[in-house]
Structure 1
């Protein structure tokens, strides 16, 4: 993976919600995620960015308020002409954000992310927690690493939790690095088919799991406590050359803390 240097910008905070499960035809064969109206309700979680409403911040930057009227927001950070665009979300889920397209250049690529300021109340510590988003990614939008949401960099102080989509196959992976080590789990289910998918990462005492539309893959082992002072970033870990820009659409980013954090 490529890892650029951190970038900081304005941001705030939020609680959570999500998307699509697996549906069936009359014959019982899966036909992809059904209406997200049936998705779990994450509105009581610690952080939720639904991306339904864009407002102008005091400095003129674009920001997206939290759901449920929470007093937090995600602020858009951009570089080289990049930006985010509100697009239609999955059925019943309002709006989503489209991020800059794939760029093969080594320098100067359009970049954009949404940044939520750090807050100790959002630190998972050593407790169970879940995080994730709904994503739509076409086969032409895959890269070596496309970062969906994360806090902390690969080796930054305080640890890291991250959801990204890996390689041409478009396989979601979850990484947790706490004070006891790092764990990575990768799903065998591709999300690179230009259809909305709900992806949930979960860390508990037993290990880390990734669920794609409810199909769970698990990796056992310890990861330890996390206490990062980095912002939570959606769509990319930064806007520097070499940062892993996500080039599809993202919706309903969430972080859920404590024993109620769900696995899928």
Structure 2
């Protein structure tokens, strides 16, 4: 895993958490400044000049977490200046900071409670313009994150799954998603020509760190996990089918830890909260053919 202070590119967007009513979102007042969280310029005052597009293969969602282990998340440094972030939450849910497998900082998401209205929270990342860097279209791409699943993680209609990282919902025309439903890692990629899903047959061990990656290469979807303890492949699966163009409504966020709507609100009826810890998300888009 990478250190918490690394950034994907030299220009970054610093986002800070402020309190907001519940349910809703902790608005990350997008600013540009140092990784310590001190703001140099507010979003309203920042220059409107668009930064140069990152080279193909750049991790567009690399995060620098701001906060102390055991305390609530204070903010996030996003490794791309056109990506903004906020925490969506319901029923008292919050994201806390925890140590990752290599001593870096990670995001502790709400634990499973079994309640009808459990605490829920997800980190969401969205392009600041109508056609931003998180749009994948027909291009090949890879995404994923490191994770540690809690021993108890699902069992109610509201929290019946563990959505790890995704953009789009099953009802949307486009989606890419990794979940750990039933303890098994799966990947779903949907586009204008169809849906392709691949799921690993073996289950992950609770309270164990893994690295999940899913890639779309033409009509082929590959999902794999690596144990970050043994540094060996722990499972893989491949599926093939027509996908086509993966398009999204402008501003639809990519989320870590649960399902969100286009307006950034968590899906209240079936959040599929990931119960555990996540770190070092990745989204890389390859050059267009």
1:43 Cα offset (Å): 8.8
Alignment of 1:141-180 (within 5 A): 141-142=153-154, 144-157=160-173, 159-167=174-182, 170-180=183-193
Kept in 2, the 8 Å contact 1:47–1:254? The answer is yes
Kept in 2, the 8 Å contact 1:173–1:210? The answer is yes
Matches of 2:108 and 2:178, distance apart in 1:
17
After superposition, the Cα gap between the structure-2 partners of 1:123 and 1:8, relative to the gap in structure 1 and judged at 3 Å, is farther
- TM-score, with structure 1 as normaliser: 0.72
* Cα-to-partner distance string for 1:189-238 (whole Å, 9 max, x where unaligned): 42232111000011111311101014431011121111112111111113
Matches of 1:124 and 1:200, distance apart in 2:
16
The answer to whether 1:218 aligns with 2:231 is no
After superposition, the Cα gap between the structure-2 partners of 1:43 and 1:250, relative to the gap in structure 1 and judged at 3 Å, is farther
Work out the number of aligned pairs and report it.
213
Equivalent position of 2:110 in the other structure: 100
- TM-score, with structure 2 as normaliser: 0.66
* Cα-to-partner distance string for 1:100-156 (whole Å, 9 max, x where unaligned): 1113223x2111011112352221111111110000013223554111111111112
After superposition, the Cα gap between the structure-2 partners of 1:63 and 1:156, relative to the gap in structure 1 and judged at 3 Å, is farther
1:255 Cα offset (Å): 0.6
Equivalent position of 2:248 in the other structure: 228
After superposition, the Cα gap between the structure-2 partners of 1:72 and 1:142, relative to the gap in structure 1 and judged at 3 Å, is same
1:48 Cα offset (Å): 1.7
Larger RCO: Structure 1 or Structure 2 (Cα < 8 Å, ≥ 6 residues apart)? 1
Matches of 2:113 and 2:237, distance apart in 1:
31
Equivalent position of 1:44 in the other structure: 58
Equivalent position of 1:186 in the other structure: 199
Matches of 2:82 and 2:218, distance apart in 1:
31
Instruction: Give unmatched runs, 5+ long, in structure 2.
Output: 1-23, 31-55, 227-232, 261-265
Equivalent position of 1:38 in the other structure: none
After superposition, the Cα gap between the structure-2 partners of 1:139 and 1:8, relative to the gap in structure 1 and judged at 3 Å, is closer
The answer to whether 1:136 aligns with 2:148 is yes
Matches of 1:88 and 1:127, distance apart in 2:
34
Equivalent position of 2:122 in the other structure: 113
After superposition, the Cα gap between the structure-2 partners of 1:73 and 1:147, relative to the gap in structure 1 and judged at 3 Å, is same
Instruction: Give unmatched runs, 5+ long, in structure 1.
Output: 1-6, 13-41, 56-60
Equivalent position of 2:48 in the other structure: none
Matches of 2:122 and 2:178, distance apart in 1:
14
Q: Structure 1 stretch 203-212 or stretch 213-222: which is displaced more?
A: 213-222
Matches of 2:106 and 2:237, distance apart in 1:
26
Equivalent position of 2:209 in the other structure: 196
**SS in structure 2 at match of 1:117:** strand
Matches of 2:170 and 2:112, distance apart in 1:
22
